């Protein structure tokens, strides 16, 4: 008579596989719970803490390398990297959005906690400026340099126009007083004003500098128009001829007679 052999090992293998699957599923669940996120009132997305998050945590010192410069800051061990960036803003002048914080070879997000990422007392982090921020600042510096250059050039033209405007006023006063002014003086003054107009035209300006450029251009135009009008008035002025009439005197009889001796 044959006996049926039970597959004990088969059942054990199946049970082991089930336990392994259950353990793997449990590990994945715990891992997902470990990286669970939450939204703070300020709108920052941070890692969600466990029930022991209310326990006060000690402060730690962080060593920060920013190029050739070294900083050391004190921060709570349960702070986020976003809060670290706020502290570094006061030290470096970089806004939080312009910073990239590297720890253990990986860039850290604002919502990641220091202790969860393994940051300890006197841990070293590397601070880098965002390349896009560097490019924006470079473009802004070039733009500011152009604006300053435009302001200087316009101020130089303004000083020249001030002097020429004074000469225009002097000529206008003379012609109004009936004094004829040499035509070459009026023509030369118009030419000098037109040179300033060409200088203004060649200045690349924007913003306030552009407004100043337009203002000086109007001043030059007004002076030229005034001189054109004065040129016509000056042609109508008749030159004043000054004649001198000499008065002769007869010798008085009472004058003494001088005797001449050899």
Res. 260 pLDDT band, cuts 50 70 90: low
Spatial separation of the C-alpha atoms in residues 238 and 228, rounded to whole Å: 18
Pair 20, 8: CB distance under 8 Å: no
E strands of the chain, at which residues?
Answer: 37-39, 45-47, 59-66, 69-76, 99-103, 106-107, 123-129
Residue 213 phi, psi (nearest 5): -60, -45
Task: Give the range among 15-19, 54-58, 100-104, 240-244 with minimum mean pLDDT.
Answer: 15-19
Q: Which two tokens stand for residue 245?
A: 């009439």
Max Cα–Cα distance, the chain, nearest Å:
199
Q: Which two tokens stand for residue 137?
A: 């600042």
Mean pLDDT, range 23-50, rounded to an integer: 52
Mean pLDDT, range 238-243, rounded to an integer: 63
Res. 50 pLDDT band, cuts 50 70 90: low
Give the CA count within 13 Å in the CB-facing half-sphere of 141.
6
State the pLDDT at residue 57. 80
Res. 134 pLDDT band, cuts 50 70 90: confident
Q: What is the tens place of the pLDDT at every residue in 214-231?
A: 999 999 999 999 999 998
Q: How does the average pLDDT of the chain come out, rounded?
A: 80
Res. 32 pLDDT band, cuts 50 70 90: very low
State the pLDDT at residue 255. 56
State the pLDDT at residue 237. 78
The domains of the chain, with CATH numbers, are: 59-129 (3.10.20.90), 135-236 (1.20.58.120)
Q: What is the tens place of the pLDDT at every residue in 168-195?
A: 999 999 998 888 889 999 999 999 999 9
Task: Give the range among 147-151, 157-161, 205-209 with minimum mean pLDDT.
Answer: 205-209
Reduced to 3 states (helix: H, G, I; strand: E, B; else coil), residue 204 is coil
Pair 188, 247: CB distance under 8 Å: no
Q: Which residues, other chains included, contact 190 with Cβ-Cβ below 8 Å and sequence gap of 6+?
A: 224, 227, 228
């Amino acid at each position: 008579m044959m006996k049926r052999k039970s597959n004990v090992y088969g059942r054990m293998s199946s049970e082991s596989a089930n336990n392994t699957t259950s353990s793997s599923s449990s590990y994945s669940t715990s891992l997902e719970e470990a990286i669970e996120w939450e939204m703070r009132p300020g709108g920052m997305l941070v890692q969600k803490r466990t029930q022991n998050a209310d326990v006060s945590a000690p402060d730690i010192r962080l060593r920060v390398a920013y190029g050739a410069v070294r900083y050391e800051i004190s921060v709570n061990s349960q702070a986020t990297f976003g809060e670290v960036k706020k502290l570094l803003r006061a030290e470096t002048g970089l806004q939080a959005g312009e910073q990239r914080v590297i720890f253990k070879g990986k860039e850290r997000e604002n919502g990641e906690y220091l202790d969860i990422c393994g940051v300890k007392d006197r841990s070293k982090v590397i601070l880098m400026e965002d390349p896009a921020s560097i490019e924006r600042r470079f473009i802004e510096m070039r733009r500011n340099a152009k604006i300053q250059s435009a302001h200087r050039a316009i101020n130089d033209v303004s000083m020249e126009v001030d002097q020429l405007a004074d000469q225009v006023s002097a000529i206008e006063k003379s012609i109004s007083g009936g004094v004829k002014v040499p035509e070459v003086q009026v023509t030369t003054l118009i030419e000098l004003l037109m040179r300033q107009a060409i200088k203004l035209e060649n200045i690349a300006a924007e913003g306030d500098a552009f407004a100043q450029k337009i203002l000086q251009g109007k001043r030059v135009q007004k002076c030229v128009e005034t001189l054109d009008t004065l040129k016509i008035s000056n042609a109508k002025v008749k030159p004043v001829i000054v004649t001198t009439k000499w008065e002769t005197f007869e010798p008085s009889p009472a004058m003494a007679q001088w005797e001449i001796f050899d």
